[in-house]
Structure 1
Amino acid sequence: MDSSSSMAGRGSVDPQLKHFIELETQKQRYKHLVHQMTELCWEKCMDKPGPKLDSRAETCFVNCVERFIDTSQFILNRLEQTQQSRPAISEGLSD
């Protein structure tokens, strides 16, 4: 086997491997997001840890998680809008 054929094999990426890597990357992002949310809400809502959550802490956690999800969704939607508008802007500049 010569070096040019082995280099050509390295340039192509197995679609299954690519899909696996994308899934693992998504899992890692999700875990990071959950960790971030947990840390943020814990700091905000837990005054003194005990054997049970009191109703104030429980309500605080629910509200914190809901706001975190709302904010994350808003940011994702905004980024998608920005990405979609970008090609139109660059096409307009090239005319």
Structure 2
Amino acid sequence: MSQANFDEAAQRELSKFLESEQAKARLQQSIHTFCDLAFDKCVTKIGNKLDRSEEACLANTVDRFLDTSLFIVRRLEETKGSM
């Protein structure tokens, strides 16, 4: 069934759904990329467990990621609220 067979409201709903799913996929890809970068930066030797400096590096990196994510969400909410 092609999109042309839907009425205008259904096409808008489908379009919104597809945009939402694409945004989720982009977010997942960003998180995956972030995890790869953090691991490459912080983990200097492969072993059975992380040493203290590796653990601290990963914890700090995750904290900064969360801080940044919250900042972005708040800014988007402020922008959306002022529209």
RMSD of the TM alignment (CA)? 3.0
User: Unpaired runs of 5+ in structure 1?
Assistant: 1-6, 88-95
CA distance, structure 2, for counterparts of residue 23 and residue 83 of structure 1:
17
Q: Given the alignment, which residue of 57, 63, 88 partners 2:54?
A: 57
Give me the TM-score of the superposition, normalised by structure 2.
0.65
For the pair shown, which has the larger CA radius of gyration, 1 or 2? 1
Q: Given the alignment, which residue of 74, 77, 81 partners 1:77?
A: 74
User: Unpaired runs of 5+ in structure 2?
Assistant: none
Query: Shift of residue 51 of structure 1?
Result: 3.1
CA distance, structure 1, for counterparts of residue 80 and residue 69 of structure 2:
16
Give me the TM-score of the superposition, normalised by structure 1.
0.59
Closer, same or farther: CA 8–36 of 1 in aligned 2, 3 Å: closer
Aligned length: 80
CA distance, structure 2, for counterparts of residue 11 and residue 83 of structure 1:
25
- Ranked by relative contact order (alpha carbons within 8 Å, sequence separation 6 or more), the top structure is 1
Tell me what 1:44 maps to.
Answer: 41
